[in-house]
Amino acid sequence: MIKKYFDHPLRNLNSFHVEERADCIIEFDHAEELDQIFAEGQEPENWYVLGGGNNILFTQRYAGTLIHPAGRNITVLSEDAEQLTVEVEAAVEWDDFVAWCVERELWGAENLSLIPGNVGASPVQNIGAYGAEAKDVISRVHYYDVTQRKHCSLTNEECHFAYRDSIFKRELRGRAIITSVEFTLSKSPKPNLGYGDLARETEERGGATLGNIRDAVCAIRRHKLPDTAVLGNAGSFFKNPIVDKDVAEAMMAKYENMPLYPAADPEKRKLAAGWLIDKAGMKGYRTGNVGVHDRQALVLVNHGGATGGEVMALAHQVQERVAEMFGVKIEAEVNVL
Ligand SMILES: Cc1cc2nc3c(=O)[nH]c(=O)nc-3n(C[C@H](O)[C@H](O)[C@H](O)COP(=O)(O)OP(=O)(O)OC[C@H]3O[C@@H](n4cnc5c(N)ncnc54)[C@H](O)[C@@H]3O)c2cc1C
């Protein structure tokens, strides 16, 4: 069913809980309904897809139409002794899908437990955590191409997944509405415990079962990240910067304990934006209604009543401090509207 809401409040539809409104929100259940919504001559103006609003900062009234998928079906497409392929509609909560996998002893999504948001958004920035990324389990993405008024799909390779990036943030930006995602999960154990404290936390729970890994990831996340229901935020506000190897080596010589990770390009290295912000003295910093979280410097928070503009002013302050101190530019991961 298609539902339309006008002059709709967005406070409960964005995890920063900023008080903005949208001219219009159109909610749809079935992919085919998009043909009707985008019928020639009736296309909504200035449309944008809103999933769970966990990676969007509204800085003003949304003068246009937010398209909000509402389909929540999960359908097993194929299965053999080794793996299972499942199609999941866009509005299924990501963590409900991870729980669905873990309950069925299917491996591959467990490290991505508790990432807030909907399945439809998972390919957009190729969500990732604890050494895993959505691309490791995505086999196909189904979407509606608004420009061509056509239902299309892409294989994993065609999505051009990279660190917090995909074709949906590039060539298909402003064109694609993801309606469902196919995932292929393994039936054989594939524990991926190389990241941070995960191996220790999993061992403390009795070893590398799917349930223990999920519990360990959830516990670490709950300890480190603020609950959006209590303190508005959008998780990591900034991406980890990728710099030339030489730049990284020069920084390492100066800051011995600086965390450094490999990047996809062997001539580059990934720095930890949280560490840079902390070292620049901004962790726990507060100005007015906004601040940098005191346990995770990558997270900007709304202490209550903040506007999107206040969050952006703080983001610019953080970027400037990091640039001044390290000569490194940190970019926003959050979508600013
Ligand atoms: C506390 C917290 C922790 C987080 N931790 C992580 C983490 O560990 N790793 C990580 O990668 N992210 C993390 N995030 C960010 C967020 O969870 C992800 O970006 C998630 O995918 C957002 O899902 P959403 O449904 O809320 O998307 P939204 O915020 O609604 O949208 C995000 C972007 O995707 C687009 N989009 C959404 N749905 C669709 C669709 N169906 N079709 C086309 N485009 C669409 C939107 O237009 C927008 O550009 C965190 C966020 C919070 C609040």
Fold annotation for 232-336: 3.90.78
* Alpha-carbon radius of gyration of the chain: 20
Per-residue pLDDT at 120: 98
Give the chain's mean pLDDT.
96
User: How far does residue 246's CA lie from ligand 1's centre (Å)?
Assistant: 33
> Rounded CA gap, 54 and 262, in Å?
27
Cβ(48) – ligand 1 distance below 6 Å: yes
What pLDDT digit, counting tens, does each position of 210-255 carry?
A: 999 999 999 999 998 999 999 999 999 999 999 999 999 999 999 9
CB 113 near ligand 1, within 6 Å: no
CB of 118 within 6 A of ligand 1: the answer is yes
Dist. CA 17 → ligand 1 center (Å) = 15
- Domain spans of the chain, in order of start: 3-69, 74-224, 232-336
Q: Which pLDDT band, with edges at 50, 70 and 90, does 159 fall under?
A: very high
Query: Which residues belong to the active site?
Result: 164, 236, 333
Helices (H) and strands (E) in the chain, counts: 7, 20
Domain 3-69 has CATH 3.30.43.10: yes
Quick check: CB of 167 below 6 Å from ligand 1?
Answer: no
Residue 122 has pLDDT above 90, yes or no: yes
Bridge partners of residue 93, in order along the sequence: 118
Domain formed by 74-224, architecture: 2-Layer Sandwich (3.30)
| d(CA 61, ligand 1 centre) in Å | 20
Does the C-beta of 233 come closer than 6 Å to ligand 1? yes
Residue with the smallest CA separation from ligand 1 atom 11 is 127
Mutate to test the pocket of ligand 1, among 46, 55, 56, 180 (most ligand atoms within 8 A of CB): 55
The Cα-based distances of 118 to 49, 188, 266 in angstroms read 12, 26, 33
Q: Following DSSP, what letter does each residue of 183-206 receive, concatenated? A: EEEESS------STTHHHHHHHTT
Per-residue confidence (pLDDT) for residue 133, from 0 to 100 = 97
Number of Cα atoms under 13 Å in the Cβ half of residue 332: 18
pLDDT over threshold 90, residue 264:
no
Q: How far is the CA of 293 from the centre of ligand 1 (A)?
A: 19
d(CA 228, CA 121): 18
> What is this structure's pTM?
0.94
Residue 325, pLDDT > 90, answer yes
Tens of pLDDT, residue by residue over 175-192, are: 999 999 999 999 999 999
Report percent pLDDT > 70 for the chain.
Answer: 100
Asked if the model's pLDDT at residue 196 lies above 90, the reply is no
Helix (H) / strand (E) element for 75: namely: strand 74-79
Running DSSP on this structure, what letter comes out for residue 302? E
Does residue 117 line the site of ligand 1, with CB under 6 A? yes
- What pLDDT sits at residue 256? 87
% of residues, the chain, pLDDT over 90: 95
Closest residue (by CA) to atom 19 of ligand 1?
A: 55
Distance 337 CA to ligand 1 centre (A): 14
CA distance 36 to 195: 46
The pLDDT value given to residue 273:
96
Nearest to residue 102, comparing CAs of 20, 213, 14, 266?
213
| Whether residue 292 has its Cβ less than 6 Å from ligand 1 | no
